[in-house]
Amino acid sequence: MYSQGLIGADGSTEETQDFLDAFQKRIDAEEKIEPNDAMPEGYRKTLVRQIGQHAHSEIVGMLPEGNWITRAPSLRRKAALLAKVQDEGGHGLYLYSAAETLGVSREQMTEELLSGKAKYSSIFNYPTLSWADIGIIGWLVDGAAIMNQIPLCRCSYGPYARAMIRVCKEESFHQRQGYEIVMYLARGTEAQREMVQDALNRWWWPSLMMFGPHDADSAHSEQSMEWKIKRFSNDALRQKFIDATVPQAEFLGLTLPDPDLKWNAEKGGYDHGDIDWEEFWRVVKGNGVMNRDRIKARKKAWDDGAWVREAALAHADKRAARKQAAE
């Protein structure tokens, strides 16, 4: 065992170098950190931020696709989409639970989302304009999510890593349902091909932005990689995603909207055009097309659900009181 550090009268902690070194040693030895283990405050805060934002993304991410459940073109498509959107809700719940193990409440996290303090993925601030968008979201957005989340299954924090295993299995089904929709449309009528190409043109660049800013502009990457929260940098994962997706687009006969996309034999990957980082930061800062609508919808759901939370708490109190009386 090692000393945690010094705790001041006001509850503040001063972490000793011995404590930080011993913690890093555990990380380097690939030990999992569990909720009751001593951990540096920075490690805890980074996880609360990332897991909280990840949870919000899953829940806000239900909105663009939920928009198409009533308009899915067949019963089969509707059943699959309904199941997918429900899965995303489940992912949000595992993630909120994982964050709660770090001493933050679901209420606090929701308040931070609604006040704009906590972020959620930029991708969910774009509108879903046609049925083809649902296919493209499954193919690209879930595809990018898997690329980013498979390494998180090896995250040093146990509860997050374990939640990610199930999430990734489900995301893999989501990606396939999207790819199947896209394949069907790409082999369909002229109008269907145009619709799916238009959706691809709109979602390609925002999907690349999901991986976050360039490594040079990524505030948290270096420390997060040292703590083995992140295993790969933003740019490395973006490159892997591009390399995996280009052959899929070629197979589908669709064109990725980047004239600078070119195989580079020397690096063994594709070169690509510049990402519009101004657009990325505009969306992240709350000024994308759908930001206000998304937060409004979350606020309404939170307010409308107040009576359910109150009833659940009252029920739990009643059961606890009955149990106590019986003992």
Catalog residues that contact ligand FAQ under the rule CB under 6 A.
Answer: 49-50, 53-54, 57-58, 61, 88, 119, 121-122, 137, 141-142, 145, 148, 209-213, 218-221, 224, 230, 234, 284
Identify the three-state secondary structure at position 7: strand
- Segment (H or E) for 216: none
Q: Which of 98, 78, 208, 118 is nearest to 164 (CA)?
A: 98
Task: Name the residue nearer to ligand FAQ (CB basis): 4 or 67.
Answer: 67
Q: Shortest Cβ distance from residue 178 to ligand FAQ (Å)? A: 9
Task: Name the residue nearer to ligand FAQ (CB basis): 84 or 197.
Answer: 84
Q: Distance between CA 133 and CA 155 in Å, rounded? A: 31
Q: Shortest Cβ distance from residue 283 to ligand FAQ (Å)? A: 7
Task: Name the residue nearer to ligand FAQ (CB basis): 19 or 72.
Answer: 72
Measured at CB, which residue is nearest to ligand FAQ? 61
Identify the three-state secondary structure at position 154: helix
237 Cβ contact partners less than 8 Å away, ≥ 6 residues apart: 147, 148, 151, 211
Task: Name the residue nearer to ligand FAQ (CB basis): 57 or 245.
Answer: 57
Q: Shortest Cβ distance from residue 73 to ligand FAQ (Å)? A: 19
Task: Name the residue nearer to ligand FAQ (CB basis): 99 or 209.
Answer: 209
Q: Distance between CA 80 and CA 72 in Å, rounded? A: 10
Q: Shortest Cβ distance from residue 166 to ligand FAQ (Å)? A: 13
Q: Distance between CA 99 and CA 49 in Å, rounded? A: 9
Q: Shortest Cβ distance from residue 23 to ligand FAQ (Å)? A: 19
Q: Which of 220, 213, 162 is nearest to 43 (CA)?
A: 220
Task: Name the residue nearer to ligand FAQ (CB basis): 19 or 221.
Answer: 221
Q: Shortest Cβ distance from residue 18 to ligand FAQ (Å)? A: 27
Question: Alpha helix (H) ranges present in the chain?
Answer: 17-28, 41-60, 62-66, 75-100, 106-115, 131-136, 142-149, 158-186, 190-209, 221-226, 234-252, 277-282, 291-304, 306-326
Q: Distance between CA 252 and CA 255 in Å, rounded? A: 9
Task: Name the residue nearer to ligand FAQ (CB basis): 90 or 305.
Answer: 90
Dihedral over alpha carbons 13, 16, 22, 23 (to 10 degrees): 30
Q: Shortest Cβ distance from residue 207 to ligand FAQ (Å)? A: 10
